[in-house]
Amino acid sequence: MPTTLRHPGTVLTDHVFAVPLDHGRPDGEQIEVFAREVVAAGREHERLPWLLFLQGGPGCGAPRPVGAADWLGTALRHYRVLLLDQRGTGRSTPANRQSLAARGTPEQQAAYLAHFRADAIVRDAELVRERLLGGEGRWSTLGQSFGGFCTLAYLSYAPGSIREAFVTGGLPGLRVSAEDVYRAAYPRVAAKNAEHYARYPQDVATVRRIAAHLAEHEVRLPDGSRLTVERFQTLGMLLGQGSGSHTLHYLLEDPWIGGPSGLRLSDAFLEGVRAQVSLAATPLFAALHEPIYAQRSVAASGTRWAAQRVRGEFPAFDAERAAARDEPVLLTGEMIYPWMFDLDPALVPLREAAHLLAERGGWPDLYDTERLAANEVPVYAAVYHDDMYVDRDHSLATARAVPRVRTWVTNEWEHDALRAGRGAVLERLIGMARGEV
């Protein structure tokens, strides 16, 4: 029996659905997928069109709203919204170091996790749609970041189920490999570093000094894990968000504390770093981050830790080299490296499974380019000109390849604009769909 509760201005109903772990074996093992229905208070009995929200990630649960803030308030003026916890996240059947231990060997864990990509997520969504709307019911979709990747997979698998699709910062390259993704990404990350250091020039010396300290000393975060130079550099993930550069600067502005043996990194600073670099809340983000790009028709041999391999082509990210040349130490971006599974306590138990996923070949294709070339579903996509996470050129190439994709290219926003823009981005896309823009 669904559970319903009221928040200020909204009515929320919880749903749980049983779906096959492997959609190729519908009578096999079942897992649960959780979704939360949200409707504006006073409109819960209206026959409103549905909007399925596909969260970014991979491996992130849907938002937990209190009221109708940000983009949700905009959506609720037009739709009944379904916030889907993609398989393995939120209140769906979990997939983390604790639950995966029960799956058995690393080989068995990797085989299990191979069912958690966009192709499985959209098949889950199809079963949910049939149960909520009926077999002939259609809904709209809103895909943020990785949710946009899921949207293109959905249009490849069951386009007849979608009335219209909105995508924010998430038009994927249809035929790009993981290596292609990172070769395009490292220069964008370097540019974000340059912007940050131009905005906060004092951070150049601070980052260099912290990196030198970490190279010379063993430093532990409050969770007991080691903070290496490379792990410290992953703070650059912040630079792709609207307020991320400022957040990074405030973290760096007072990292030191005095003690009997001289200056050391303070507990407050280290806890701030831990909050940014720990993946305890989103382990699937690490385990599946490269597999979300894997397609056998593009790279049959798999991803093989593409971000780590491609990094060697960009020596500017070598902190030791930068220090020797008196150059700024560059921070990295949305990259997952194999050493993370040696350092992060939430990932260490998944190390062997992660390596098996990295070496796994023959991943099924995620996008049906022939079906997409005949697309009839209107798609309205915000493409962020300076997006650090999703390559603009890859997105625009996809927009050209798929009919009825209309893009809004803007440099006003960063990748997190759907949330940070207080509804303005979704309002613009809905306006495009309604012929108002």
Q: Any idea which residue has 């037009």 for tokens?
A: 78
Q: 288, 88 in Cβ contact below 8 A?
A: no
CA torsion angle 68 70 72 75 (round to 10): 120
Token pair in block for residue 339: 């050493």
Selection from 160, 148, 129 nearest residue 375 by Cα: 160
d(CA 389, CA 169): 8
d(CA 127, CA 146): 20
145 is catalytic: yes
Q: 337, 317 in Cβ contact below 8 A?
A: no
Q: Any idea which residue has 């386009």 for tokens?
A: 159
Q: 60, 30 in Cβ contact below 8 A?
A: no
d(CA 27, CA 16): 18
Token pair in block for residue 74: 């905009």
Q: 31, 21 in Cβ contact below 8 A?
A: yes
92 is catalytic: no
Q: 432, 379 in Cβ contact below 8 A?
A: no
d(CA 233, CA 248): 11
Candidate list 70, 177, 415, 416, residue with the active-site label: 415
Token pair in block for residue 248: 């990074």
Residue 207 CB-density burial (10 A; 0-12 exposed, 13-18 middle, 19+ buried): buried
d(CA 281, CA 224): 17
Q: Strands 80-85 and 139-144: what pairing?
A: unpaired
Candidate list 70, 387, 391, 416, residue with the active-site label: 387
Strand partners, 32: 18
7 is catalytic: no
Q: Is 168 helix (H, G, I), strand (E, B) or coil?
A: strand
Q: 126, 54 in Cβ contact below 8 A?
A: no
Contacts for 113 with CB less than 8 Å, ≥ 6 apart? 95, 100, 284, 287, 288, 353, 357
d(CA 433, CA 435): 6
Candidate list 145, 161, 177, 245, residue with the active-site label: 145
Catalytic residue IDs: 145, 387, 415
